[in-house]
Amino acid sequence: MSEAIVPLERIHSLIVVLRGQRVILDRDLADLYGVTTKRLNEQVKRNGRKFPEDFMFQLNEEEVAHVVRSRSQIATLKRGGNIKYAPYAFTEHGAVQAANVLNSDAACDMSVQVVRAFVALRHMMINHKALSAKLAELDARIGMHDEQIGEIVKTIRQLAAPEGPRHRRKIGFHPGNR
């Protein structure tokens, strides 16, 4: 499969950070895999052993409120839709495992794209940290250079400043002096 089924940018937009981990919510994962959220959750419950806490977890009330505030598509519920059950959040490994338990070709193909999106985000974070470190280093160097430039300017001003009148004896013949 050479062509992406769903653009990586769309998958990136579905990945959120909860409990210090990048995760994708069950409804978004089900949508990507072409199944209903109910079917995804059924398969996950049937295969509970395959989903340890580092693969998947259920959101608490505070996390649900945070997600609802940050994502307008969940805030605008479908007709008759209330969030009856707190959504599940799947990590990168949980998303792959979900595709495996769904046992569909579409889900397996899409799981490759989901993993690519997680990997791309990980690389962006690494690059971001490297750039931040480089900027901090440059900032420190600039601060050091500012001090050195200040000292140079001070020395130049001292050298360029006209000296006060000095009393010197004039050279040559002066009438009246013997």
pLDDT in tens, 28-48: 999 888 889 899 989 889 888
Buried (b) or exposed (e) across 82-118, using 16+ Cβ within 10 A?
Answer: eeeeebbbbbbebbbbbbebbeeeebeebbebbbebb
The tokens for 77 are: 């519920």
Q: CB under 8 Å to 122, separation ≥6 — which residues? A: 22
Burial of 159: CB neighbours in 10 Å, binned 0-12, 13-18, 19+: exposed
Burial of 178: CB neighbours in 10 Å, binned 0-12, 13-18, 19+: exposed
Please give the average per-residue pLDDT across 148-156, as a whole number: 87
pLDDT-based confidence at residue 16 (cuts at 50, 70, 90):
confident
* DSSP of 63-80: HHHHHHHH-HHHHSPPTT
Beta bridge partners of 90: 24, 56
Chain mean position to CA 61: 24
Least Cα distance to 25 among 52, 58, 47 occurs for 58
pTM value?
A: 0.58
pLDDT value at 80 more than 60: no
